[in-house]
Amino acid sequence: MKRIALLGATGSIGRQAIEIVEAHPGLELCAAASGSSPLDDVDAPLKQVGGDLTELLERAQPDVVLNAVVGFAGIHATLWALERGVDLALANKESLVAGGELALAARNRGGGRLLPVDSEHSALFQLLEGRGLEQVHSLVLTGSGGPFRGRTRDELADVTVEQALAHPTWRMGPKITVDSATLANKGLELIEAHFLFGLPYERIEVVLQPTSIVHSLVRLRDGATLAHLGYPDMRVPISYALTYPERAETPLAPLDLTSLTLQFAAPDLATFPLLALAREAGEKGGTYPCAFNAANEVAAAAFLAGRLPFLAIAEAVADALAHADGAPARDVEELLEADAAARRLVEQGLSVA
Ligand SMILES: NC(=O)c1ccc[n+]([C@@H]2O[C@H](COP(=O)([O-])OP(=O)(O)OC[C@H]3O[C@@H](n4cnc5c(N)ncnc54)[C@H](OP(=O)(O)O)[C@@H]3O)[C@@H](O)[C@H]2O)c1
């Protein structure tokens, strides 16, 4: 029996994870946590609403931590699992983006597995399994392009929260859905892929695939390109991470190949500048990715609260990055400081506006 601690049990990933665990006789929840929503309908021996997630993990001593918290708030749980060699099924990409170096150092000390839940990274993980990186030419991350793909900047000036939340292919929590509309999500995923797979940024490409059937691709040095296909349904990568290295059945129908349209397009970096800003932050390294993430979290939340227009999200992040010092974080305290500094920069801008 694998004992799973589910952090973010009330969210989009959390609910789907509960479905997977309930359907699998070899999995059980040993702990569940949320930020503020009640957990009355979640069946787990240990439950915690708010508070320090690592205290819950200490009590639960799980075999796997599924970190499905949204945002940088997941950082301590990510580091806790990696430091102790407990398998980490990671949906909370923000913790790896912000704390990549610290997280990888903790994994090297702890020796546990880091299993991506993000669908693109789960696809890349599967495509790369058992393959030396010397065979790999580059990684290709795919993205749908979000609800505003094809629009001009002028057409984005007055978009509403409701329009931004109408994602064409995925049903997800509000923060990641806004990030998908701005392409900040693809930027976070680019940095996440760099830390997960150890390739330099110039060898990680981003391509739009509007129907979200191709979850990512690997180009090999001999000219072959491998692709991972499937319906856009997070239960597959959640199930894969929780049952790894096995593969369990899921309720999904087999892919109907004759009904598919598979078109690809380059992302529009001028209209959606957050993807290029993320690449720049990743290439600069240090705490620039942390600042990118923190600024984006504050700006996306302000957009969701009706305090910032859509196009101002990228402007706020660019401004925060221009003022960040980017010095590498030697420990988690320095990382928390870098995160707080970037948040302050955006919040100051919001209070002036
Ligand atoms: N949804 C997807 O399809 C998808 C796909 C790929 C990756 N991801 C990633 O998975 C993560 C979760 O996304 P989501 O869409 O599931 O978000 P969501 O629906 O907004 O759910 C977020 C969850 O995190 C909990 N939470 C927030 N702050 C917390 C804290 N301080 N301590 C404990 N729990 C806290 C929330 O609890 P409350 O209900 O109490 O607020 C909720 O259970 C994100 O990092 C996202 O980027 C999601």
State whether the beta carbon of 184 lies less than 6 angstroms from ligand 1.
no
pLDDT at 351: 85
Decide: 68 in ligand 1 pocket, CB within 6 A.
Answer: yes
How far apart are the CA of 70 and the centre of ligand 1, in A?
A: 4
Q: Whose CA is nearest to atom 25 of ligand 1?
A: 8
Burial of 40 (C-beta count, 10 Å sphere; 0-12/13-18/19+): exposed
Q: Is the CB of 170 under 6 A from ligand 1?
A: yes
Nearest residue (CA) to ligand 1, atom 8: 91
Structure-block tokens of residue 256: 């109907």
Per DSSP, the three-state class of 243 is: helix
Distance CA 253, CA 256 (A): 8
Structure confidence at residue 352 as a pLDDT band (50, 70, 90): confident
Can you read off the two tokens belonging to residue 353?
A: 């506006």
Q: What distance in angstroms lies between residue 192's CA and the mean position of ligand 1's atoms?
A: 17
Does residue 8's CB lie within 6 angstroms of at least one atom of ligand 1?
yes
38 has pLDDT over 70: yes
pLDDT tens-digit readout, 63-116: 999 999 999 999 999 999 999 999 999 999 999 999 999 999 999 999 999 999
Phi, psi of 43 (to 5 degrees): -95, 95
Q: Is the pTM of this model over 0.75?
A: yes
pLDDT beyond 90 at 184: yes
Strand partners, 225: 219
Please identify, by atom number, the ligand 1 atom nearest to the C-alpha of residue 91. 10
